[in-house]
Chains A and B, each alone.
Chain A
Amino acid sequence: MSDFRALKDKVAVVGVGNTRYGNFPETDDYGLGADAFRAAVADCGINKNEIDGLLVCRIPYYARMGEILGISPRWTIPLPPHGRMASMGIIEAVAALEAGLCKYVALIYANIGRSRRVNYGGDESPNIWDPWGYTSPGAAHAMMFQRHMALYGTTTRQLAEVSVAFRRHACLNPDAVMKQPITVDDHENARPIVLPLRLLDYCLINDGAVCMILTTKDRAKDLKQTPVMISGLGAREAFHEASLSNFERDFFYPQLQEIAADTYGMAGVGPSDIDAFMCYDNFAPTVLFSLEGLGFCPRGESGRFVEGGTLQVGGKLPTNTDGGHLSNSYMQGWALNVEAVRQIRGECGARQVPDCEVVQFVAATPCSRSIIYTRG
């Protein structure tokens, strides 16, 4: 079993920033990344020339990003444009900082999929199953949700609770793309994409960028913001059916169970201590699978668990308080980690969770990860 306990409370998030979210054909990955970096540097109060670690995700060329920002780090990691990379990257940065490979890391993510009309399926992502017309990450999640319905009696009306809750949060978030409230019936009547999933089960595709700045606990004391500590980590891949593209035959349950033991064990908390939950929501069913895998509810009971506003601010487990990928912005996990930090700082205005001290991020993907953030 992996054991990250030596990394508990060693590294803090000291700066966060994001761009506007929408459709920006007039700029590109670098322009958006630079805007997010500017915002995070201002938030942090650091001299940008102190930043000696650079992790970029979905940015075409890391060195060009460094040239634009005028920084020459001694630690650089480029990550591919896959949704699962956010918490993978944060954990790598934690390890690099703790090992002394660098002192301050900027993590920059940018996405121009909206203005460049990215499809997330078909010839953009060739797969051996193309001859049968099986393509797109959404189809894999539709497969898993169909099976979840058959095994446990989960319904699409229960699934709708996820989309409805996140849309409500987006309506409270000035940055969010989607501003119109939706109902369970709206979800049921939405355009079918790959049934049993419909439009409102799918993440948005929009342009934007996010930046986080991390440093060690000691260095964090000298910066502007109250540090938000990284207190728990967990990780496990599910590569055994990678050709099925974002599919795991057991709803990522075995991986998430192991991650729960590691992450909660390291942070010294359990599911009942989580004040706000940031759950990678590429598609609505992923939220149900995550709740079961981490033990927020028993296996097969996530549909009933989310009924009655459980996931809404004011509910038992406020989840994706920024609106998530479904209704805020498709920042592939990065914006949810920023939201975790802002909730702990108490900066979230109308969507603020009162007395928010412990926030958990999880991404249930072929590279599943979880991070627990606490107040420094």
Chain B
Amino acid sequence: MTAYDKPLPKIDTLTRPFWELAKDHKLAVQVCNECGDRHFPASPVCPRCLSKDQGWEVVSGRGTLFSWVTFHRAYWGGFARDLPYDVCMVELDEGPLFVSNLVDAAEGKVAVGDRVEVVFEAVTDEITLPKFKPAS
């Protein structure tokens, strides 16, 4: 097996819980324990109320396809063999927009507003990427 050569996430104190939950096949967003605001990506203070008392909430993994695009250019060598590849933007039922890849979508059968659900793809021993497929 060749080494994984696509960009990997930068894991730090702020983002580690997200990636640990993803490894367990759970999609999570940051939630403010004071005002309840849910957001992603993680922020050192709550963007709504500036509280530092925040945690992570596992979400349903369901959402709506907000938009999607098809890359015909590889900005990293690791993506060159995947060309063309799809990137989707999902509006999670809990609010935040989440960028990911569409899997198991039939060519030409995808539309803005489609229901989608999360699946998980382990790409290294440490990193599992949440991706989305059409909802069953």
Contact = CB atoms under 8 A, between A and B. Distances in A.
Interface of A: 119, 121-123, 126, 128-136, 139, 142-144, 146-147, 150-151, 191-197, 240-241, 243-244, 249
Interface stretch (B23-31, B50-58, B79-87): B79-87
B72 A139 contact: no
Contacts, number: 92
Given A146-B67, A194-B70, A131 B127 contact: yes
A192 B72 CA distance: 6
The DSSP consensus for interface residues of chain B is: loop
A194 B97 contact: no
A194 B7 contact: no
A136 B72 contact: no
B70 A192 contact: yes
Given A192-B84, A243-B41, A143 B76 contact: no
A150 B111 CA distance: 8
B68 A143 contact: yes
Contacts of A131: 6-9, 123, 127, 129
A196 to B, nearest CB: 7
A194 B75 CA distance: 11
7 contacts: A128-B9, A130-B7, A133-B82, A133-B85, A133-B101, A136-B75, A147-B66
A189 to B, nearest CB: 14
Given A133-B101, A146-B112, A123 B70 contact: no
Contact of B69 (A119, A130, A196, A249): A196
Nearest to B69: A142
A101 B126 CA distance: 55
A122 B123 CA distance: 19
Contacts of B100: 132
A150 B85 CA distance: 20
Given A131-B8, A150-B111, A244 B70 contact: no
A129 B100 CA distance: 8
Contacts of B36: none
Contacts of B123: 131
Interface of B: 6-10, 15, 41, 47, 66-73, 75-76, 79, 82, 84-85, 87, 89, 97, 99-101, 111-113, 123, 127, 129, 131
A128 B19 CA distance: 12
A144 B8 CA distance: 26
Contact of B72 (A122, A135, A195): A195
Give the one of B7, B66, B129 with max A CB within 10 A. Answer: B7
Contacts of B89: 143, 244
Contacts of B84: 192, 195
Nearest to A125: B75
A128 B9 CA distance: 7
Nearest to B71: A194
A132 B129 CA distance: 8
B6 A195 contact: no
Give the one of A119, A122, A240 with max B CB within 10 A. Answer: A122
Nearest to B15: A128
A149 to B, nearest CB: 8
Nearest to B40: A243
A121 B76 CA distance: 9
Nearest to B42: A128
A146 B68 contact: yes
Give the one of B73, B84, B85, B131 with max A CB within 10 A. Answer: B73
A181 B70 CA distance: 27
B41 A128 contact: yes
Contacts of A192: 70, 72, 84
